[in-house]
């Protein structure tokens, strides 16, 4: 090729090369606002030289490549930061809602309603027979119960909303998986002749969008295609296509090549889905469980005290509010199905009978063996008792509930009442209680009280013979029940001591007893009632063969010199109302729950505090966790912003830079055009010489 030909070819290549460079710059400029677009740079290199006239002349320039300004490290860290930020942002959104649900800024807050209930009990203690105070107490109980119901419903609805959000999110995930797989195939087809930068940008952008929903990993193969997996290695995109995720309303599933669904819910971390799962499976169930524990504790403490008292009237009939699942199972066992089965202990309770004039007919103690007595056993015992020589009480099981009634055909207008329950069985069966149910969803005031406020138990039955208290050094399982009335003239203390344990089941155990420290007598620990002297105090030894006594076991019985009011209860008595009002100052044991995805929930007993203390810690924990997540969201947002800025600086389009490049390439293009003109003039000069 002639020298002038070299010049002309070099000029032509220069024109084309600068034109291509201007095309790249214009592509950058027009995509300055395109999300995910990465700046492209033309790579211009000198063409190999060519020998002519004994010299090696250069042949100008050519465009060797168009390079996308990407940095895999920055892209990877940005992807991770997107995953982290979206997880905390999603959690922050729901924690804000949780804070509003448990807000203490209104009169309808839990703490305010609980305080109103305590005040109402105190108000009743000040005027125990007054109907207005009883109505206020009933309304306070209803309001507190409804507050529990409402909060539980709000939390339940939040869980349903999270489920809906997850379903929508998984729809977006599957769409992104499909789009990534489609672009993957396009890149494989397009990169036969070069790098498909725009398609790669599109794919990177889609992968980033997918990272907003969950923790993922990606790997690029030599042919330009990528595979995408979940953080735990479940394949989402491969060269062959995409693998969508399933959702059954609770679990996220991944389908194997053999069409077998694998539950991967607990492996999904980070991103919107991870944040939703954390709220759904950890935060929300924890607060719902703690709320239930709070409601359960309030109900139990008030019910157990209420069941020891009496209202303005006795019962003609009563039905327990807590059902057993199996009336033949031991009441103190979990299989009984009772909500408070674990509260039942070996002990007894008293049933009092009153005639149509309200006069005391008599009382009897009903022994309860937590680990052997079933509801059927208790019903059999109650149905067979005679009180003061009267067989007036019928007992049965109604819908797996205990049912007691006066036989009106033989004892019209008779009533009955309860006291001194050391076994807790009355409260566990829901007999003579203030509240019904044992969870935040269903708690309500007992229908008996709603129907007649006179059944609010402000008083206690006067019993001048206390229950027997086992000495703390006792190592046996035996117990005794007491009855009276005590007719002595002074308050006294009886002590019953087992001298020879023997076999209680056969009545061979022997005992001695003392009054005010002076040994008075001895006897055989038979199952039937045994009098301790002539002043009315009687004891009955446990009749269950599994209950045994050890030598030197002792029991203390306090008695009071007031037999003339034995079995009475007064409309002006506020003893039980005060007892319940003072519960707010007594330490209780309440469970606190911890939930972690993939693990069974763990509970721990919180002791050394009152119900109010537990409530305040519970409510403050919501705010503390919300603030913690908010700080985490701010931190992850800052990290994401830093990596986004790094990416923009490295890969983003700068108009100033592009305008500079445009001017540079434009001048180079003009110079190349001038070179063409120069070569043309050289040709014309040669032609003229001829």
Residue pLDDT, tens place only, 264-284: 999 999 999 999 999 999 999
The pLDDT of 396-416, averaged and rounded, is 96
Which pLDDT value is given to residue 387? 95
Please name the residues in contact with 649: beta carbons below 8 A apart, sequence gap of 6 or more. none
Closest CA to 425 of 483, 341, 364, 321: 341
Q: Is 679 exposed, middle or buried (0-12, 13-18, 19+ CB in 10 A)?
A: buried
- Among the ranges given (200-204, 388-392, 434-438, 615-619), the one the predictor scored with the smallest mean pLDDT: 200-204
Structural domain total, the chain: 1
The pLDDT of 55-82, averaged and rounded, is 84
Q: Are 402 and 368 in contact (CB under 8 A)?
A: no
The pLDDT of 385-402, averaged and rounded, is 95
10 inside domain: yes
131 inside domain: no
43 inside domain: yes
Which pLDDT value is given to residue 508? 66
In what helix (H) or strand (E) does residue 165 lie, and over which residues does it extend? Answer: helix 131-190
pLDDT at 524 over 80: yes
316 inside domain: no
Chain-centre distance for alpha carbon 114: 22
pLDDT band for position 502 (50/70/90)?
Answer: low
Which pLDDT value is given to residue 506? 46
62 inside domain: yes
Which pLDDT value is given to residue 562? 87
Q: Average per-residue pLDDT in the chain?
A: 91
Helices (H), 481-610: 575-581
Q: What are the Cα distances from residue 87, in Å, to 170, 245, 274, 636?
A: 15, 19, 6, 9
Q: Return d(Cα 363, Cα 366) in angstroms, integer.
A: 10
pLDDT at 1 over 50: no
Whole-prediction pTM: 0.88
Which pLDDT value is given to residue 527? 66
pLDDT at 3 over 70: no
45 inside domain: yes
- Among the ranges given (27-41, 74-88, 499-513), the one the predictor scored with the smallest mean pLDDT: 499-513
The pLDDT of 386-413, averaged and rounded, is 95
Q: Are 608 and 589 in contact (CB under 8 A)?
A: no
Which pLDDT value is given to residue 618? 94
pLDDT band for position 113 (50/70/90)?
Answer: very high
Residue range 629-687, pLDDT digits in tens: 999 999 999 999 998 888 888 878 888 888 988 899 899 888 888 888 887 788 778 88
Q: Is 357 exposed, middle or buried (0-12, 13-18, 19+ CB in 10 A)?
A: exposed
- If you average pLDDT over each of 20-34, 163-177, 471-485, 545-559, which comes out highest? 163-177
Q: Give the number of other CB atoms < 10 A from CB of residue 163.
A: 15
Structural domain containing residue 673: 3-69+653-689
- Among the ranges given (116-130, 324-338, 523-537), the one the predictor scored with the smallest mean pLDDT: 523-537
684 inside domain: yes
63 inside domain: yes
Q: What are the Cα distances from residue 165, in Å, to 186, 273, 585?
A: 32, 9, 43
């Amino acid at each position: 090729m002639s020298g002038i030909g070299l010049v002309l070819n070099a000029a032509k290549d220069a024109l084309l090369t600068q034109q291509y460079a201007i095309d790249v710059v214009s592509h950058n400029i027009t995509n300055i606002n395109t999300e995910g677009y990465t700046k492209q740079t033309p790579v211009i290199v000198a063409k190999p030289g060519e020998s002519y006239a004994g010299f090696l002349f250069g042949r100008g320039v050519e465009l060797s490549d168009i390079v996308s300004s990407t940095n895999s490290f920055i892209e990877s860290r940005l992807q991770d930061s997107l995953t982290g930020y979206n997880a905390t942002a999603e959690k922050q959104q729901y924690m804000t809602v949780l804070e509003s649900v448990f807000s203490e800024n209104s009169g309808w807050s839990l703490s305010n309603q609980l305080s109103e209930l305590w005040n109402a009990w105190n108000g009743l203690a000040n005027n125990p027979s007054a109907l207005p105070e009883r109505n206020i107490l009933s309304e306070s109980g209803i309001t507190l119960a409804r507050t529990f119901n409402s909060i539980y419903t709000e939390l339940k609805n939040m869980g349903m909303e999270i489920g809906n959000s997850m379903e929508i999110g998984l729809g977006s995930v599957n769409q992104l998986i499909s789009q990534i797989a489609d672009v993957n195939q396009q890149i494989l087809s397009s990169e036969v002749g070069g790098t498909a930068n725009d398609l790669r940008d599109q794919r990177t952008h889609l992968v980033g969008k997918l990272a907003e929903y969950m923790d993922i990993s990606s790997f690029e193969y030599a042919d330009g295609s990528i595979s995408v997996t979940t953080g735990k290695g479940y394949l989402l995109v491969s060269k062959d296509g995409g693998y969508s995720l399933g959702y059954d309303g609770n679990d996220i599933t991944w389908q194997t090549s053999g069409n077998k669904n694998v539950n991967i819910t607990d492996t999904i971390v980070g991103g919107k889905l991870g944040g939703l799962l954390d709220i759904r499976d950890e935060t929300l169930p924890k607060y719902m469980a703690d709320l239930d524990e709070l409601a359960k504790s309030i109900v139990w403490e008030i019910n157990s005290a209420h069941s020891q008292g009496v209202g303005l009237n006795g019962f003609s009939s009563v039905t327990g509010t807590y059902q057993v699942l199996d009336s033949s199972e031991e009441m103190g066992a979990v299989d009984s199905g009772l909500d408070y089965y674990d509260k039942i202990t070996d002990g007894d309770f008293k049933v009092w009978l009153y005639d149509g004039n309200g006069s005391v007919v008599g009382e009897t103690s009903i022994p309860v063996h937590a680990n052997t007595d079933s509801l059927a056993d208790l019903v059999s015992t109650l149905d067979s008792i005679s009180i003061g020589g009267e067989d007036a009480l019928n007992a049965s099981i109604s819908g797996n509930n205990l049912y007691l009634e006066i036989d009106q055909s033989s004892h019209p207008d008779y009533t009955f009442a309860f006291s001194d329950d050391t076994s807790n069985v009355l409260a566990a069966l829901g007999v003579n209680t203030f509240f019904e149910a044992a969870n935040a969803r269903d708690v309500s005031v007992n229908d008996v009280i709603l129907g007649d406020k006179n059944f609010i138990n402000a008083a206690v039955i006067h019993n001048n013979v206390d229950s027997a208290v086992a000495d703390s050094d006792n190592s046996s399982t035996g117990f005794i029940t007491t009855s009276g009335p005590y007719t002595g003239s002074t308050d006294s203390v009886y002590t019953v001591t087992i001298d020879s344990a023997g076999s209680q089941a056969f009545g061979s155990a022997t005992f001695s007893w003392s009054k005010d420290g002076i040994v008075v007598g001895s006897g055989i620990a038979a199952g039937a009632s045994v009098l301790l002297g002539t002043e009315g105090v009687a004891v009955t030894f446990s009749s269950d063969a599994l209950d045994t006594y050890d030598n030197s076991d002792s029991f203390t019985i306090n008695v009071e010199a007031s037999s003339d009011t034995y079995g009475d209860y007064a409309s002006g008595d506020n003893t039980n109302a005060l007892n319940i009002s003072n519960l707010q100052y007594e330490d209780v044991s309440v469970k606190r729950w911890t939930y972690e995805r993939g693990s069974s929930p763990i509970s721990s007993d919180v002791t050394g505090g009152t119900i109010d203390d537990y409530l305040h810690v519970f409510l403050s924990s919501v705010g503390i966790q919300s603030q913690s997540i908010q700080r985490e969201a701010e931190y992850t947002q800052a990290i994401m912003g830093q990596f986004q800025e790094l990416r923009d600086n490295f890969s983003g389009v700068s108009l100033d830079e592009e305008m500079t490049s445009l001017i540079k390439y434009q001048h180079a293009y003009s110079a190349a055009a001038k070179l063409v003109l120069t070569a043309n003039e050289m040709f014309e000069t040669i032609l003229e010489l001829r």
